[in-house]
Amino acid sequence: MSMKNMLNNGGLKIYANALDSIGNTPLIRLGRVHTGPVNVWAKMECIQPGGSVKDRAAKMSIETALQTGKLQPGQSVVEMTSGNMGAGLAVVCGVYGHPFIATMSEGNSPQRAVMLRGLGAEVVLVPQVNGLPGQVTGDDIEAAAQAARRIAQEQGAYYVDQFHAPHGIIAHEQGTAQEILTALDGSVDAFVAIVGSGGTFVGVSRGLKKHNAAIRCVAVEPKDAEILAGKQIKKKQHMLQGTGYGFIPPLWDPSLPDAFMAVSDEEAQVMRYRLAAEEGLYVGFSAAANVVAAVKFAHSGVLHSGANIVTILCDTGLKYS
């Protein structure tokens, strides 16, 4: 009998391996940082084995590459990462027995490199182009992507290429969106998510809108780097690591967002502290930005009393300085 999703006598889940525990994350109602007639729910993507929302994309990328023969048994894998896709890939590659090389901008928090190395990955740190420590720009990640492409060529490694590969979107459309609908019995009124590669926002929004086109999907961006909202970029540096790179992600779908929201570093910092101190949820800056935007949307008057807004807690606070 397959052990996948098997329950033991106490009704607790047991899995054959770590990868089977990816997904099916719980929703937690945020009743302290937000009180009001509209409900704000947080999806706990931060509690997956790699500590972030990117585990789903990592798992689907590697499993698809194995199934299609693009990745051969034992072949090395390389990826450019802000740390989270890398941690997810380190988990998946570990379980499937592939050496994994992560190229990462030096501007990402040192905790990410520590975790990646702890998971057995080789980490290649790439000097920043125009960002600052803790503030990684699009030019910084392009430099890391160039390093990944070079390593793929020189070492014959399989390049995951999260910004061009559809697996993140598919994983979120088939997984995350359906889980949200199931958890709330289909009663979802809005979804709020920040954009990095766009996998989370595009995939979940697509899945939710297929169920009900009236579900409002709100895309979140760092303040003054609101390119998706069609504004000029005033400031490339911000603290919302893993997001807001100042270019439109190649797999972006402009038909999905119903609204855009911008969040400042200061707003995210305050909410990050409040989520920890009041809700017991120690998460990263992009997760906090999502909650800031969800709360603003709850107060916007667009939604009726009792409506449900879902947002994403992207990663654990342990990944930050």
Q: What are phi and psi of 73, to 5 degrees?
A: -55, 130
Residue the block writes with tokens 């909202």: 229
Here the tokens at position 86 are 């890398």
- Pick the closest to residue 309 from 270, 274, 258 (CA basis): 258
Nearest residue (CB) to ligand PLP, 89 versus 190 = 89
| CA separation for the pair 107, 134 (Å, rounded) | 5
Closer residue to ligand PLP in complex, CB, 54/216: 54
Contact between 29 and 62 (Cβ < 8 Å): no
Measured over the CA atoms of residue 68, residue 74, residue 80 and residue 81, the dihedral's sign is positive
List Cα–Cα distances, 200 to 62, 203, 277, in angstroms. 18, 5, 27
Residue 114, Cβ density class (10 Å: 0-12 exposed, 13-18 middle, ≥19 buried): middle
Quick check: 236 and 224 in contact, CB under 8 A? no
Residue 172 or residue 303: which is nearer to ligand PLP going by CB?
Answer: 172
For residue 92, CA distances in Å to 64, 88, 302 come to 12, 6, 41
Task: Pick the closest to residue 312 from 258, 224, 242 (CA basis).
Answer: 242
Query: Least Å distance between CB 15 and ligand PLP?
Result: 24
Q: CA dihedral in degrees (53, 55, 60, 62; nearest 10)?
A: 140
Q: Which of 288, 262, 265, 266 is nearest to 275 (CA)?
A: 288
What are the catalytic residues? 54, 286
Number of Cβ within 10 Å of residue 2's Cβ equals 7
CB 262 within 8 A of CB 221: yes
> Could you list the residues that contact ligand PLP (CB under 6 A)?
52-54, 82, 84-85, 168, 194-201, 241-243, 284, 286, 314-315
